[in-house]
Amino acid sequence: MFTQKVKSRIIYSVILAILAITVLYITLKSLEENVVYFYSPTDIYNKTSILSNTTIRVGGLVKEKSINKKGTSINFIITDLKNEIIISYKGLVPNLFSEGKGVIAEGKLKDKKYFVADKILAKHDENYMPPEVKKALEDSK
Amino acid sequence: MFKNFLPNKILALNNKFIFKIAKIMILVLFVGIVYSLFISPPDYIQGDSVRIMYVHVPSSFIALGCFAFIGIVSICNLVFKIKFISLMAKSLAPVGLIFTIISIVTGSLWGKPTWGIWWAWDARLTSMAILLFFYLIYILTWKFVINFKKANTISSIIAVIGLFNLPIIKYSVEWWNTLHQPSSITLTSAPAIHYTMLVPLLIMLIGFTIYSVIIFLMRYKIEIMKFKLNKKNKIN
């Protein structure tokens, strides 16, 4: 069906594609530490060395009833439902920051359970719905 | 179907046809904009900033789709050496570039009130920026490499390399922790968007797709005319 030239080009490109995917996979795998935007509390818990001097990000859900506001400073707990980490922060939080919602804190670890943040980002999940539907969902709970 | 894209057929393509689908596009976009800006409800947590999504998501879809098309066409071009096929890729590139820019800008506008920052170097946003650069390099290659054969080969290779970026964009939100939320619409499960928001989203997607087709047809026609003229005048 194909001429010899075209055939050899097909074989050549397939081999090249397989090689490229392998190289890409290995590169991304080894760069995983840098590709992740934030660590979960479990990641931090499993880390052997504490990165106390470098700025890192911790993300998860804000634990229910853990927000403690005092003037401009705020304390809350980030949880991934397995491990928890206490966050202490001074300043304004985004509008979407609330209990049970996703959050990312940027700052430095004091120890494995305590984190001092200098920036708080709200993480939005993939669910979109009108307020009435949300209310109906909560009422049926 | 494929025969309709042969150079001579495209040249015979009546401008009236383009006007016809342009009329449909205006109608669809009008309905889509009214629906998404006025009829659809605000989100339970984001409020009205959810309306940015109706532009952001379709643009990202088309940005990725266009590059997928360019990449696949470029593979065919490198393997089978059909000339007019790369002209198709060339004429689709500006559409993809524009929608990539729209996607990044609207995403940024949404990110500030939602996340609290305009831009983050997370996997989804970074890979999207890389896509933008691939579009730019691809288009610039066609612009600055004068010899047609050379430009054809170089740009095809660039597009094929860029093709590997697409699954990274698509799955970045699942493979790694990212600031960007995972996809709400997946093939395997029910959409995580309420249908009152899903409908305007799909209408906008149809409108944007028709727009892309119109621009593509117009550009493709011009590219073929240019190619034939250059051949006649023995340029290249």
For B114, residues 6+ apart whose C-beta sits below 8 A from its C-beta are A94, A96, A122, A124, B46, B49
CA separation for the pair B51, B58 (Å, rounded): 12
pLDDT tens for each residue of A6-51: 888 888 888 988 998 898 888 888 887 778 888 888 888 887 676 6
Q: With an 8 Å Cβ cutoff, are B181 and A123 in contact?
A: yes
| Contact (CB, 8 A) for A134 and A80 | no
Vertex B100: Cα angle to B16 and A25 (nearest 5)? 130
Nearest-angstrom CA–CA distance, B144 and B194: 47
| Residues A25 and A46 occupy one common structural domain | no
State whether A95 and B113 contact (CB < 8 Å): yes
Distance from C-alpha of B43 to C-alpha of B45, rounded to nearest angstrom: 5
Q: Has residue B44 been placed in a domain?
A: no
Residue range A66-107, pLDDT digits in tens: 888 888 888 888 888 888 888 888 888 888 888 888 889 888
Which residues from A are below 8 Å from B79, CB to CB?
6, 9-10, 13
- The answer to whether position A129 is within a domain reads no
Whether B46 has its CB under 8 Å from any CB of chain A: the answer is yes
Q: Are residues A47 and A115 in the same domain?
A: yes
| Least confident residue range of A7-11, B9-13, B217-221 | B9-13
Q: Which residue segment(s) compose the domain that A19 sits in? A: 4-33
**Mutation target vs A (from B35, B36, B43, B45; most A CBs, 10 A cutoff):** B45
Sign for the pseudo-dihedral over CA of B118, A126, B33, B47: negative
Range of the domain at B77: 18-35+51-180+194-232
Question: Which are the contacts of A82, defined by CB distance < 8 A and separation ≥ 6?
Answer: A41, A42
Report the domain count for chain A.
2
Judgement on whether residues A12 and A79 belong to the same structural domain of the protein? no
Residues A17 and A67 occupy one common structural domain? no
Tokens encoding B68 = 């997928």
Asked whether residue B9 is assigned to any structural domain, the reply reads no
Q: Tokens 């009236």, residue?
A: B16
Residues A10 and A67 in one domain: no
A37 touches chain B (CB under 8 A): yes
- Please judge whether B116 and A101 are an interchain contact, meaning their C-beta atoms are less than 8 angstroms apart: no
A46 in any annotated domain: yes
Indicate if A71 and A43 belong to the same structural domain: yes
Alpha-carbon span A7 to A15, nearest angstrom? 13
- Judge contact between B89 and B77, C-beta under 8 A: yes
Note whether residue B140 is domain-resident: yes
Residues of B in contact with A36 (CB under 8 A): 123, 176-178
Q: Which amino acid is at B120?
A: A
**Are the Cβ atoms of B194 and A129 closer than 8 angstroms?**
yes
Same domain, A25 and A50: no
pTM of the full structure: 0.87
Q: Which of A21, A59, A126 lies at the smallest CB-CB distance from B177?
A: A59
- In a domain, residue B26? The reply is yes
Residue that the structure tokens 């087709």 belong to: B213
Q: How high is the ipTM of this complex? A: 0.80
**Cβ atoms < 10 Å from Cβ of A36:** 18
Query: Within an 8 Å CB–CB cutoff, is residue A126 touching chain B?
Result: yes
Could you tell me if A42 and A23 lie in one domain? no
Residue A136 covered by a domain? no
**For position B1, what pLDDT does the model report?**
53
Tokens for B162, please give them. 């860029």
- Least CB–CB distance from A96: residue in B46, B178, B192: B46
Identify whether residues A115 and A94 lie together within a single domain.
yes
Residue entry with tokens 């993300």: A59
Q: Is residue A131 part of a domain?
A: no
Q: What is the CATH number of the domain that holds A65?
A: 2.40.50.140
Contacts of A101 in chain B (CB under 8 A): 45
A77 and A48 both lie in a single domain: yes
Q: How many structural domains is chain B composed of?
A: 1
| Smallest Cα distance from A90 to chain B, Å | 15
Query: Do A27 and A70 fall within a single domain?
Result: no
The string of pLDDT tens digits covering residues B119-164 is 988 889 999 999 999 999 999 999 998 888 889 999 999 999 999 9
A54 and A104: one domain? yes
Size of interface A-B (CB pairs under 8 A): 102
Tell me phi and psi for residue A82, to 5 degrees: -115, -55
pLDDT tens digits along B164-207: 999 999 988 888 888 888 888 777 777 778 888 889 999 999 99
